[in-house]
Amino acid sequence: MSEQTNYTEDNIRSLDWKEHIRMRPGMYIGKLGDGSSPDDGIYILLKEVLDNSIDEFVMGAGKTIDISVQGSKVIVRDYGRGIPLGKVVDVVSKMNTGGKYDSKAFKKSVGLNGVGTKAVNALSSFFRVESSRDGKSASADFEQGNLTNEEFLEETTRRKGTKVSFVPDEVIFKNYKYRSEYVVKMLKNYVYLNPGLTIVFNGEKFFSENGLKDLLAENINATDLLYPIIHLRGEDIEVAITHSKTQYSEQYHSFVNGQNTTQGGMHLTAFREALVKTIREYYGKNYEASDVRKSVVSAIAIKVMEPVFESQTKTKLGSTDMGGELPTVRTYINDFLKTHLDNYLHKNPETADKIQRKILQAERERKELSGIRKLAKDRAKKASLHNKKLRDCRVHFGDAKNPRNLESTLFITEGDSASGSITKSRDVNTQAVFSLKGKPLNSYGLTKKIVYENEEFNLLQAALNIEESLEDLRYNNVVIATDADVDGMHIRLLLITFFLQFFPEIIKDGHLYILQTPLFRVRNKKETIYCYSDEERVKAIEKLKPKPEITRFKGLGEISPDEFVHFIGDNIRLDPVMLDDNMNIDDLLSFYMGKNTPTRQEFIIDNLKVELDVIE
């Protein structure tokens, strides 16, 4: 009989607030990450601090917020009311302490549980808060949540408001790096949701006059608009709607009290239902919901009293009520669209006509594809049983048991050897592997029909579960894992073309990545260093003198499973595939994947980089 572990009073341990946050950071900020994904922890830290400044603006205090991110140090300065000076330490270091519990001071604010800045404080190696008001100021310094210094000034010339500075703790966040592209996208959302607010980030100003209308205009090229953006506003709701000429799937941006609810929630569900219902009633036709919503690009923002989110990171709304004496979220949104969208369509018959023609086109395409889809599904089901192209994981992104699993990853690999190495070294709970057979087809200029007729694309779509909507995406991270050679680069390009052509939202929403694997292994009897560039190789050789053993990895299949586990585990390096906001997808694909032209030849020659493998 095995010896049982004693369970006594000595086993019972009480953690103070900062110990609990540092021991279980995921409960407060979601996943940690290294900054390569927009939902990584370092961006949540910035958001938690920024939310407080946004709430000041919402309450009519301070029209400008200054933000600086220099290396690992973040500074957020607002010109609001300032934290009451006697409570500066408490509001950033005592749980369940904050002004947002008083609905007179903060109405319809983003943060309601008083946890945000405490989490930032506990997870920072340096944290400083300064408040100025009534000609006086107070400040406090912390390290890992521990107070190190406190000052109070009777007189100050500083403008009123709050300034928070912090450095994410490298003990918690390994090898992290802030990417300005993700910060800028976050800040743009804030100004779209708060017309009149100016945010200055590292000297660059962001401002919006037209709210969600500006958001859609930013996210869809003017030449791709089927009709002018429909922009509707109410007391606690704002909606922007249009259809894309070329995009296949639906695309939504949803917000609650200024928070970007990337996983939707009750308000988005209600909006999608109300959109279909209003369209059906206007035309007097019982159109299929999928036909009505095909190619729709829209945004919705609502304000709710005391919203209930499904996690501390506030990515999904759980509330069903608007608050106060208002009706439910579903009823409120339905009544708003039924009145205002219906009125708009009656006043703009040309737009109404374009919408109806788009719906009828979607209906025709759906019927034409129905037979092909059935055959494709049967083929995918048969292939998944016999070909085993997909080695699935146990937990998915957005499944019923774990709706917020942000770690779920699908690696798309080339060949059996590479997929075999990753399969043997992966985390079977959260990491899946899809093995390609040869080079994919160049899908530029092809119709959606090819997705069902081409075995590779059909099986990949089935694995990702994105046929109907991106909301059904089974993996939060889709990672292209190919060799670092010419063929591998070509496969990357063909896969990116596939996603841009048929599912651009996977890239726009930050789900697509390139796996970086080491090019060299430099080792001696005592130490092994993996190098991702020639510069790193040279430094490793200098460190491991005398002359160490050097191996050049020419393909993923050459890396053993025992080694691969280091590159897809805690030390994984991912490069996000990102689109420039001003980039037109059609123009991009035409230039790189269309017919070979003198212009593209000149571009390749001018930008050609030659790598010489010099092994000393």
Entry pTM: 0.77
Residue 430 identity: T
What pLDDT shows up at residue 140?
A: 93
What span, in angstroms and rounded, lies between the C-alpha atoms of 484 and 486? 7
- Nearest residue to 410 (alpha-carbon basis) of 455, 487, 477, 510: 477
Is residue 98 pLDDT above 90, yes or no? Answer: no
What pLDDT shows up at residue 338?
A: 94
Low-confidence winner among 310-314, 478-482, 612-616 (lowest mean pLDDT): 612-616
Strand order in the sheet with 64-70: 146-153, 136-143, 124-133, 161-168, 73-78, 64-70, 198-201, 204-206
What pLDDT shows up at residue 539?
A: 92
Looking at per-residue confidence, does 371 or 101 come out higher? 371
Give the DSSP H/E element, type plus range, for residue 361. helix 349-386
Is residue 346 pLDDT above 90, yes or no? Answer: yes
The tokens for 200 are 């200055």
What pLDDT shows up at residue 384?
A: 53
Q: Does 17-206 match 212-365 in CATH topology?
A: no
Is residue 434 pLDDT above 60, yes or no? Answer: yes
What span, in angstroms and rounded, lies between the C-alpha atoms of 378 and 321? 43
What's the Rg (C-alpha) of the chain?
26
The tokens for 278 are 């209003």
What span, in angstroms and rounded, lies between the C-alpha atoms of 231 and 241? 7
Query: 531-546 burial string, b = 16+ CB within 10 Å, else e?
Result: beeeebbeebbeebee
Q: Which residues pair with 466 in a beta bridge?
A: none
Cα 254 off chain centre by: 13
Low-confidence winner among 45-59, 66-80, 382-396 (lowest mean pLDDT): 382-396
Q: Is 386 helix (H, G, I), strand (E, B) or coil?
A: helix
What pLDDT shows up at residue 581?
A: 62
What span, in angstroms and rounded, lies between the C-alpha atoms of 54 and 200? 13
Residue showing tokens 């699993």: 405
Residue 147 identity: L
- Across all residues in the chain, what is the average pLDDT? 83
What pLDDT shows up at residue 266?
A: 86
Confirm if 111 and 55 have CB atoms less than 8 A apart. yes
What pLDDT shows up at residue 314?
A: 62
Confirm if 502 and 527 have CB atoms less than 8 A apart. no
Most confident of 68-82, 152-166, 391-405, 576-590: 68-82
What span, in angstroms and rounded, lies between the C-alpha atoms of 192 and 186? 10
For residue range 217-231, list pLDDT tens digits in order: 988 888 889 999 999
Confirm if 558 and 483 have CB atoms less than 8 A apart. no
Is residue 7 pLDDT above 70, yes or no? Answer: no
Reported confidence tier of residue 156, pLDDT bands at 50, 70, 90: confident
The bridge status of strand 512-516 relative to strand 477-481 is: parallel
The tokens for 325 are 């004496």
Is residue 103 pLDDT above 50, yes or no? Answer: no
What pLDDT shows up at residue 611?
A: 39
Is residue 610 pLDDT above 50, yes or no? Answer: no
For residue range 550-597, list pLDDT tens digits in order: 999 877 878 888 888 888 887 788 888 887 766 667 677 766 777 767
What span, in angstroms and rounded, lies between the C-alpha atoms of 369 and 608? 42
CA separation, residue 528 to residues 245, 523, 533 (Å): 53, 4, 15
What span, in angstroms and rounded, lies between the C-alpha atoms of 210 and 195? 7
- Nearest residue to 249 (alpha-carbon basis) of 592, 463, 509, 576: 509
What span, in angstroms and rounded, lies between the C-alpha atoms of 405 and 257? 24
The tokens for 253 are 């941006």
Q: Mean pLDDT over residues 74-84, rounded? A: 93
Domain spanning 17-206: which CATH class is it, in words? alpha beta
E strands, 86-208, are: 124-133, 136-143, 146-153, 161-168, 198-201, 204-206
CATH architecture of 388-517+553-607: 3-Layer(aba) Sandwich (3.40)
Confirm if 426 and 477 have CB atoms less than 8 A apart. no
pLDDT over 70 percentage in the chain: 83
Count the residues in the chain: 616
Non-local (6+) Cβ contacts of 270 within 8 A are: 329, 330, 332, 333, 334
What span, in angstroms and rounded, lies between the C-alpha atoms of 454 and 440? 9
Q: Mean pLDDT over residues 57-81, rounded? A: 93
Looking at per-residue confidence, does 604 or 540 come out higher? 540
What span, in angstroms and rounded, lies between the C-alpha atoms of 559 and 562? 8
What pLDDT shows up at residue 4?
A: 55
Q: Mean pLDDT over residues 306-311, rounded? A: 68
What span, in angstroms and rounded, lies between the C-alpha atoms of 256 and 340? 20
CATH architecture of 212-365: 2-Layer Sandwich (3.30)
Is residue 612 pLDDT above 50, yes or no? Answer: no
What pLDDT shows up at residue 296?
A: 92
Looking at per-residue confidence, does 510 or 468 come out higher? 510
What span, in angstroms and rounded, lies between the C-alpha atoms of 485 and 311? 42
Reported confidence tier of residue 298, pLDDT bands at 50, 70, 90: very high
Q: Mean pLDDT over residues 55-79, rounded? A: 93
Q: Is 474 helix (H, G, I), strand (E, B) or coil?
A: coil
Q: Mean pLDDT over residues 39-50, rounded? A: 92
Looking at per-residue confidence, does 104 or 162 come out higher? 162
Is residue 598 pLDDT above 90, yes or no? Answer: no
Handedness of CA 237, 242, 247, 250 (dihedral sign): positive
Is residue 278 pLDDT above 60, yes or no? Answer: yes
The tokens for 46 are 């910035």
What span, in angstroms and rounded, lies between the C-alpha atoms of 222 and 243? 11
Q: Mean pLDDT over residues 316-322, rounded? A: 66
Reported confidence tier of residue 245, pLDDT bands at 50, 70, 90: confident
Backbone angles phi, psi at 130, to 5 degrees: -130, 135
What pLDDT shows up at residue 395?
A: 84
Give the DSSP H/E element, type plus range, for residue 477. strand 477-481
What pLDDT shows up at residue 102?
A: 43
Is residue 250 pLDDT above 50, yes or no? Answer: yes
The bridge status of strand 73-78 relative to strand 64-70 is: antiparallel
What span, in angstroms and rounded, lies between the C-alpha atoms of 552 and 531? 10
What span, in angstroms and rounded, lies between the C-alpha atoms of 186 and 32? 18
Q: Is 53 helix (H, G, I), strand (E, B) or coil?
A: helix
Looking at per-residue confidence, does 39 or 66 come out higher? 66
Non-local (6+) Cβ contacts of 467 within 8 A are: 373, 461
Domain ranges for the chain = 17-206, 212-365, 388-517+553-607, 520-551
